[in-house]
Amino acid sequence: MPVPPQILHRETVARTRLFRVEQLELRFANGHEATFERLSGSTDGAVIVAALDADDHVLLVREYAAGVERYEVGLPKGLIEPGESPEQAALRELREETGYGARRLQALWMLTLAPAYMQHGTRIVLAEGLYPAPLEGDEPEPPELVRWPLADLAGLAARDDVTEARTLAALYMIRERHQA
């Protein structure tokens, strides 16, 4: 394994309501020094929920995505609140965004978004045994539920409004696990 660089200095260089940017000065094992910026955050701060119904359809939601200024269809997800386990956060987000609860919840792989410059981590939670259990969320407009067959991920990836890497990775990983 490679020898990790030494962190010479770290400093917060910007902070907004949602983001904190940290600057790191690193010295690599070969003597090179370099300055990096990264978005700070909790490394296990979020969950993404793959909820499967009895017909092996997955529950997706269509929501306005301010980052790309259009509607995006993807898996329910959200931050883990203080004191919650990943499974508890997943159940809450699932109920808020889709109106369904789940009898079985299982935290699986950890995903990162851009490990070079984001600390953020997202845990994939598999949810099965669904039942109606709506919970009021804080969304500015109610997400629209979209059911999609897990068998047709190529068709899902071909949609212009399905682009989020976490949603696609999680669904392929879950499907392969199901087939194993």
- What mask of x and - would describe binding to a second copy in positions 147 to 166, judged by CB under 8 A? ------xx--xx----xxxx
Instruction: Name the one residue in this structure whose structure tokens are 């845990």.
Output: 123
| Rounded Cα–Cα distance for residues 77 and 140 (Å) | 16
Stretch near a second copy under the rule CB under 8 A, chosen from 53-61, 99-107, 111-119, 128-136: 111-119
CB of 86 to a second copy, least distance (A): 15
- From 6-14, 51-59, 88-96, 127-135, give the range in contact with a second copy by CB under 8 A: 6-14
Identify the three-state secondary structure at position 158: coil
Among 9, 11, 13, 132, binds a second copy (CB under 8 A): 13
Backbone angles phi, psi at 165, to 5 degrees: -60, -40
Cβ nearer to a second copy, comparing 17 with 83: 17
Q: Minimum distance from CB of 27 to a second copy (Å)?
A: 9
| Pick 80 or 130: Cβ nearer a second copy | 80
Q: Is 114 in the site for a second copy (CB under 8 A)?
A: yes
Tokens 């990983």 locate to: 173
- φ/ψ of 103, rounded to 5, equals -75, -30
Output 45 or 129, the one with its CB closest to a second copy. Answer: 45
C-beta separation of 35 from 78 below 8 A: no
Instruction: State the nearest-atom distance from the C-beta of 171 to a second copy, in Å.
Output: 9
| Contacting a second copy within 25-84 (CB under 8 A) | 26, 28-30, 32-34, 36-39, 43, 62-72, 74
Residue 133 is a binding residue for a second copy (CB under 8 A)? no
Give the pairing of strands 46-51 and 33-39: unpaired
Written as one string, the DSSP assignment of 5-20 is PEEEEEEEEEE-SS-E
Extract the tokens encoding 4: 């990790």
Q: Which residue, 38 or 130, is less far from a second copy as judged by CB?
A: 38
Instruction: Give the integer Cα–Cα distance in Å for 95 and 135.
Output: 5
